[in-house]
Each structure stands twice: as C-alpha cells, then as structure tokens.
Amino acid sequence: MTDSRTTIAFVMKYHFTNKKGGAETQTDILSRELSKNNFDVYYIAETKDKKKFNVIENYHGVKILWINSRHLLPYNSRYYRSLIKINPKIIITRHTSALTFITGKYCKNYKKKFIWMCHDDMVPFDNYFMRFLKVQLSISSNSLIKKIISYPRAWLKDYYKNKGLKYVNKAFTQNQFQKDTLYKNYGIKSEILNSSNYKATIQYKQKQQKNIIWLGSISSRKRPDLFIRLAKKCEDTDLSFIMIGNCSSKKKYNYFFKDIPSNLKWLGKKDYNESMKYLSDSFVLINTSIKNTEGFPNTYIEAWFRGVPTLTMDCDPDNIIENFRLGYAKNDLKLIKKKIMDFRKDEALYKKYHERVIEYANKNHSINKNIKKFINKIT
C-alpha cells in the first residue's frame, strides 16, 4: 500500500540527539509534531558513528537519516543524494551554511518547496559569517595566524549561504528585527513564527529556592564570565549560582573558570531532562549573551513555561522582556543583583512575574497552538 501522506524532510547538520542547540531543539519539536499531524517526516543529519552511516532511525515517529560527517567541499553531494533518495515534497532547514545552497539547488532542480527558518539575528546580513567571526575574534584568545586563516572560510560560507537564499520559497523569522533585516538585505519577505516548546510542570519557589541558573554552551559570545562576576558580587547573600553547559576545550575552561567564587557551581554538560529539572528548581534565569548574536533563546521559553523570570544583560528580542514585564533587561551587574534581591524580599512582586511568564508562554509559545499555524503556512 502506497503511503499517501505528504513527505517532509528537515535538512540539518545536527539532530537534537547529538547537539542540544537552539536550532536543533526547534527542528526536533517541529518534526515530531508534524509527524503527529500525519506527515511522513524525515530528518537528515550528520553523525560520527560509523554504525549509523546511511541508516534510518525512527525517533518519535520521525525518520532520521544519518550521513557521514566528513567535511570535504561546500557543495557536498551527501545531502543532495539523500534528498533524491527521500524525494520529499517540502524541505525545511533551520541552518545557515553551504547546506542552504545545497538544499536550495535541489529544490530548484526538482521543483520542491524550500522552507527556510532564520535562527540568529545576524543571519539576515549578507556578510553573516564575516560579522560573526569578527565578534568571536574580538573576544577570542586565538593566535594571530588562526585568526587570519579564519577569514577565507567565513567568506566562502557567506558566498554559498547568499546563493542558497535565492531559492527560498517561504521564509520564517523569529522577531521583527530579523524580518526587517532579511527584507532589507535580500528582498525576502518572511513571517514571524514564535519559537515553541511543551508545557512543563510548574513549581512555585519564591520562599524556598535560592538557585540562580545560567544555561548555554561555554563560548565567548555567551559571555559566561559575566555570570561568574555576578556570583562574586553576590557572595554576601545566601544565593547559589549554577552553570550548565558544554565546554569544548580545556583552554576555554581555563580561560573562563580560572577564578570562580565559592557560591558558584559549574555542572558541565547535562542531558536535556536533567537540565530542565535544574531550571524548574531555580529562582531566576540569567542570560549574558551579546545582543544580536542569538535569535530567540530557547532557554527563555523553557524558563517561562516553568514560571521562572528572566534577567538578561543584553539579549531581549523585540524588547519583549521589558515590554511584557517577563523579568528585566539591564546591562549592569549591580542592577541585576538588585533585581534578584527585590524578588527575594518581595514575594508578591515575584509571584506576579512568576504568573506573568507562564501566561505569556502559554499564549505565545505553545507548540500545540503554533504547529497549526506552521502547517497552514507551508502546505
């Protein structure tokens, strides 16, 4: 019997099971929900596990096609051949690199619908990789030689990314800034689609909890050193500071964690469920990322569904944290500390924010609501 369902393929470098990044989280959620809504869903991703090469693995109703993670040429035929094999009607990517070109070229040649989803505030710039590289290098400790050889690679990535975006049939952005910038630089119209997640078990924790949490990979653009400095400023309080995230090298660890206060614990990389347990048990979430180097942090949504307000040093997409009073956006460690202590001292104030972030998440970021909008837009 022939399967009459519409076939959709996600084209990504990683899957949620081998990288817990923001783009991977969102594509995992979308792919699973599309499968539940009677679509035949594939997900092409790379793996280093030789046993999985060219194997299709069923994951929550989604067929993951694993391909070899060798990196040869920007126009890599591994993805192209996989798309020919699957023959999807709709292709979705939330990744920006040479894959954008590969995916777009396939869609043009085989007359398929190419859905592209923006995942970062810098992506809509035509020199995205060069801009991103400059941000990294400005706060990097790499040698001069390593910095110099990074530029040709960044230029090449921009070249293929820009060619690939010409093939997009439907684009989605995360906020107004991305939408305006994409149209200005590429002439591509897009629709804002809120990032989504699942509802969570909520605990009210004003009285008993003292944990201040930071979630993310240990990287320069996320500025974990600011969180460490905040912990030092709060050594005269009863607060506990927790950091969870992968640190890719000993050099990074030594750079960021050479002097940590006694009230801070770095727990390293944790699986998703364990990370969410720590988040549920936390009082507030702190974000220290550089403005416009992220799209819409998944940790915000995950925190709000759990009733945890957000305090950010810089990253406030479309100013929603300030405008909707979901926490505070203050680029000052003293003010951040003051806001935390205000929450600790004033239970009525904290409870208002606790209830408000839950209400906002349910209204704007529920996958049960947003998946219906997404399906209507792509079919």
CB contact set of 259 (below 8 Å; sequence gap of 6+) = 228
pTM of the model: 0.88
3-class DSSP state of 117: strand
**Contact predicate 262/101, CB 8 Å:** no
**Contact predicate 283/211, CB 8 Å:** yes
Q: How many CB atoms neighbour CB 371 within 10 A?
A: 18
Query: What is the number of alpha carbons within 13 Å of residue 36 lying toward its C-beta?
Result: 11
Q: Examine domains 7-193 and 211-364 and report if their fold is the same.
A: yes
Q: Is 250 exposed, middle or buried, given 0-12, 13-18 or 19+ CB atoms closer than 10 A?
A: exposed
Distance in angstroms (rounded) separating the CA atoms of residues 293 and 120: 6
Parts of the chain with a pLDDT under 50: 1-2, 73-75
Q: Domain limits of the chain?
A: 7-193, 211-364
Q: Give domain 7-193's CATH number out of 3.40.50.2000, 3.90.1150.10, 3.90.660.10, 3.20.20.70.
A: 3.40.50.2000
Q: Is 251 exposed, middle or buried, given 0-12, 13-18 or 19+ CB atoms closer than 10 A?
A: exposed
Instruction: Convert the pLDDT of each residue in 36-89 to its tens digit.
Output: 999 999 999 999 888 998 899 999 999 999 998 765 544 468 899 999 999 999
Q: Give domain 211-364's CATH number out of 3.40.50.300, 3.40.50.2000, 3.50.30.10, 3.10.20.30.
A: 3.40.50.2000
Q: What is the pLDDT of residue 201?
A: 72
Distance in angstroms (rounded) separating the CA atoms of residues 364 and 344: 27
Q: What is the pLDDT of residue 246?
A: 81
